[in-house]
Amino acid sequence: MFALASLLLAPTLLGADPAGDSPAAVVDATTAPAVQVSFPTEDGRLYQIQRRDGDGWENVDTALRGTGEPVTRLLPAGEYRVVRPDGWALVWRDEFDGDQLDLTKWGKEENNLGGGNNERQAYRVEDKYAFVRDGKLHLAVHRDPHTTSDGKTQPYSSARLRTRGRAEWTFGRFEVRAKMPDGQGIWPAVWMLPTDSPYGGWAAGGEIDILESRGSAVEETTGALHFGGAWPRNEYVAHAYEFPNENAAEAFHTYAVEWSADAIRWFVDGELVQTRTKDEWFSEAARDNPSAPFDSPFHLLINVAVDGRFFEHVDQQADRLPADAFPQTLLVDYVRVYQKE
C-alpha cells in the first residue's frame, strides 16, 4: 500500500524587512522544493513513509501508529510512498547524535532515596552525570557526596533517565547497544516500569529488566522480571548470560528484549539467551488474566546505581575503588524500539 505525494512551493527567501521601513540583516539562505506527503490512517495500524533511493526505497524516520486521522508530512523533494510494515517496525529511537541530551525523549530524575535497594547514589540533573558526546550517551558516577533538604546524604552522585511522560509502549522489541563500567559496586541498568499500572504498585504492576551489570563481574550480564503482589509479596525470575569473548566492559554489546502478551525473550548480540512465558508470572490483582501484569504501557529507564541489595551475596564495595577510578561511566550507543501490528 502506498500514498502518492503532492508537490509544494519552495519556502520564501529570508532577508527582507516585512514592514519595508528599514533594511533587515541579510542571512545567506537557499530554497529547495518540498513535498507534502498526505495519507489516511486507521486507528492502531502502523505506517512507514519511504523515499525512493536509486532502484529501491529507504525508510524516512520511524514508523507511526495511526489514530484514524489523516497524516501530513512536509519532506524534501523526492518520490515517496507509504507502506504498512511487515514484521518489526522501528517506532522510536535515540541515536545520541549531536551534543545535547534530547529532553523531548528523556526526563532526568532527581532524588536521594537510594532506589529502594539501599543504594548509595544521589540521582542528580547536572550535565556532568548525563551527557551526549561523540555519538554516545554517557551516564557517569562521581564520588560527589550530596545532601538533600531532609538531611539525607549519599556519598556518590549519578543519573537516572526515563521516558515517562514522553514515550511508552505495550509490547515490542527494545534494543540497546552499550558498554558497561567495571568498577566494584557500580550497577548500570536498562529497564522498564509500568506508567500507570492497573494492577497496583511495585511489583504488582511488573518490572522488566533488559540488562543489569554487577560491578566488576563484567564477564556476565543479567535480566529479570518482577511481579506478583505489592512489596513485600513480590516475586521475580532472573537469569545470567556469560560472554564467550569480550566482556561487557571491553566492548559494546547489543541487548534486546522482545515482549508480547504470551512471552518475554532476552537476546545478547542477536543470540536468544532466555525465554519467560506467561505461565511463569502473575499479578495478585488479576489472577484470571494470564498476561498480567505485563500487558499495560511501560516506559524505559536507564541509570547507574552504586552498591545496594544487588551486591548482597558478592564481595563488592564502591568505597574500595581508588579516587582515579572515577567517573565510572555507562556508554550507550543507541536505544531503539520496534513494534508489530
| Catalytic residue ranges | 207, 212
Residues 79, 80, 86, 90, CA torsion sign: positive
Read off the C-alpha cell for 73: 508530512
- Residue 134 sits at the vertex; the CA angle it makes with 131 and 137, to the nearest 5 degrees, is 35
The Cα-based distances of 64 to 45, 83, 87, 299, 322 in angstroms read 8, 11, 14, 17, 48
User: For residue 97, with 0-12 CB atoms within 10 Å meaning exposed, 13-18 middle and 19 or more buried, which class applies?
Assistant: exposed
- Closest by alpha carbon to 298, among 149, 204, 192? 192
- Closest by alpha carbon to 69, among 37, 43, 36? 43
The residues pairing with 140 across neighbouring beta strands, listed in sequence order, are 329
